[in-house]
Amino acid sequence: MSDIDELLRDAGARLRRTAPSASATENALTTLGDVRVVGSGDQDHRRRWIVPALLAAAAVVVGLVVVNRPADEAIEPVDTTPPAIETVPTTAPPTVPTTVAMAAPWVDIPFEGMMAPPCCAEMEIEPVSPALTPDGEPLADGRYPAEIVEWSADDPTRLVIAVHRFVPCTIELTADCYPDEAGAFPPGAVGTSPETRTIELRLDGSVDALLVGMDPSAPPEVEAATVRRSSDGTGLAQLLTEVAHAYDTTIAAPITTGTPIEDVVADLQQTPRDGFSSAQEGFIGQLFYSPSDGAPAILFQGVADQGAPLPRSGTSAIIFGGVEVDEGRMALHLYAGFRS
């Protein structure tokens, strides 16, 4: 009986020795122009969605992603520093509520049509976004890539977002566009325009929140089981507040007092509490956080060692995908958990 670790090391070394020769590599380089990149082809011509495990993978992955902007995707940043933050009119006045608003319950919604952060050289497919309206005016009906600029538990119903536009891919437009060898793009491929409009929203009943999260009860053989639920802005504000508080008290606090992050994570995996449980069974991360209000579980794929100072904010696990406006009503598309 041999040991599996030793067996893998030996087999890995043997496979490593099968690396293409210098001449084979030169041949591959010479023919690189003939390579047809098909990842955005076949079924991927449909609207893109990120498989959490990649990428998680994934995602991978990847997914393998930093808060709002994964390191391996759309690394060329768009300009998110507009001259001024403005407030879009909503049905409720932009004031901090003094009473606790009743949130809409989280209910299951179809997967189709959800927007996700761009990832890993895959492209979004139509529709193109309408022109960004002038400051002070509501956004026109349509879909827009967007990202969170500012949110704080101190004022949980205030959300500042940077809104961009989906525009047809061209060679000159590089953000989220990946041309094939002929300089062409899949039909309907859109990328992110550098145009930016920063908007301050009030998370209340006038805004919808669509959240893709995880299903901790999925069987272990399922690589990444997702659930999609929606609530309103009030529900989102309460969720963000709850997650931030849970992270601060259960994860950040012991880190601050010197407990190694690995120990904190291992302890929560072994002894689930305060909404946290192990996400190892599905091989997709370290921890789940299961909200108390029926929102999808949030995946903390990695809690530490991401190159950023600790402790991090729990809300960094909730990633903005974009904004959809339908008959004047705004829906925020969010993804609960690539990296944290």
Partner 1 sequence: MMSTPSPVRGAAIGMLFDDFFRSEYPRLVPMLHGVVGDRGQAEDLAQEALAIAQREWGKVSGYELPGAWVRRVALNRASNVRRRRDREVVALRRAGDPEPTVEEPAAVDTHLWRLVSALPLRQRGAVALHYIEDRPLHEVAEILECSEGSVKTHLSRARETLARQLDVSRKEATP
Contact positions with partner 1 (CB under 8 A) in 299-318: 301-306
Task: Tell which residue, 320, 279, 282, 321, has the closest CA to residue 302.
Answer: 279
- Binding partner 1 by CB under 8 A: which of 39, 89, 127, 328? 39
The region of 137-145, 146-154, 234-242, 280-288 touching partner 1 under the rule CB under 8 A is 280-288
What span, in angstroms and rounded, lies between the C-alpha atoms of 221 and 49? Answer: 21
Task: Tell which residue, 228, 182, 178, 144, has the closest CA to residue 76.
Answer: 178
What span, in angstroms and rounded, lies between the C-alpha atoms of 131 and 295? Answer: 33
Q: Least distance (Å) from partner 1 to the CB of residue 28?
A: 6
- Binding partner 1 by CB under 8 A: which of 82, 97, 138, 179? 179
What span, in angstroms and rounded, lies between the C-alpha atoms of 278 and 271? Answer: 9
Residue type, 177: C
Q: Which of residues 112-141 bind partner 1 (CB under 8 A)?
A: 119-122
Q: Least distance (Å) from partner 1 to the CB of residue 336?
A: 17
Nearer to partner 1 by Cβ, of 228 and 339: the residue is 339
Helix runs in 229-285, H state only? 233-247, 253-256, 261-270
- 225 with 337: CB under 8 angstroms? no
Nearer to partner 1 by Cβ, of 37 and 140: the residue is 37
- Binding partner 1 by CB under 8 A: which of 167, 252, 265, 299? 265
- Binding partner 1 by CB under 8 A: which of 48, 67, 69, 70? 70
Binding mask 1-20 for partner 1 (x = CB under 8 A): xxxxxxxxx-xxxxxxxxxx
The whole-angstrom distance between residue 265's C-alpha and the CA centroid of its chain comes to: 22
Element (H, E) at 177: none
Nearer to partner 1 by Cβ, of 56 and 239: the residue is 56
What span, in angstroms and rounded, lies between the C-alpha atoms of 82 and 199? Answer: 10
Tell me: does residue 232 bind partner 1 (CB under 8 A).
Answer: no
Q: Least distance (Å) from partner 1 to the CB of residue 68?
A: 14
What span, in angstroms and rounded, lies between the C-alpha atoms of 101 and 203? Answer: 10
For residue 175, count other CB atoms closer than 10 A to its CB.
18
- Binding partner 1 by CB under 8 A: which of 157, 198, 238, 286? 286
Task: Using CB under 8 A, count the residues that bind partner 1.
Answer: 78
Residue located via tokens 């189709």: 112
Tell me: does residue 327 bind partner 1 (CB under 8 A).
Answer: no
What span, in angstroms and rounded, lies between the C-alpha atoms of 301 and 313? Answer: 14
- Binding partner 1 by CB under 8 A: which of 62, 116, 207, 240? 62
- Binding partner 1 by CB under 8 A: which of 48, 49, 60, 197? 60
Per DSSP, 275 falls in state T
Nearer to partner 1 by Cβ, of 25 and 256: the residue is 25
Tell me: does residue 61 bind partner 1 (CB under 8 A).
Answer: yes
Nearer to partner 1 by Cβ, of 163 and 265: the residue is 265
- 119 with 232: CB under 8 angstroms? no
Tell me: does residue 321 bind partner 1 (CB under 8 A).
Answer: no
Structure tokens at 237: 């504000």
What span, in angstroms and rounded, lies between the C-alpha atoms of 257 and 228? Answer: 36
Give the CB-side neighbour count of residue 270, counting CA atoms within 13 A: 6
The region of 63-71, 160-168, 229-237, 312-320 touching partner 1 under the rule CB under 8 A is 63-71
- Binding partner 1 by CB under 8 A: which of 135, 195, 215, 223? 223
Q: Least distance (Å) from partner 1 to the CB of residue 24?
A: 8
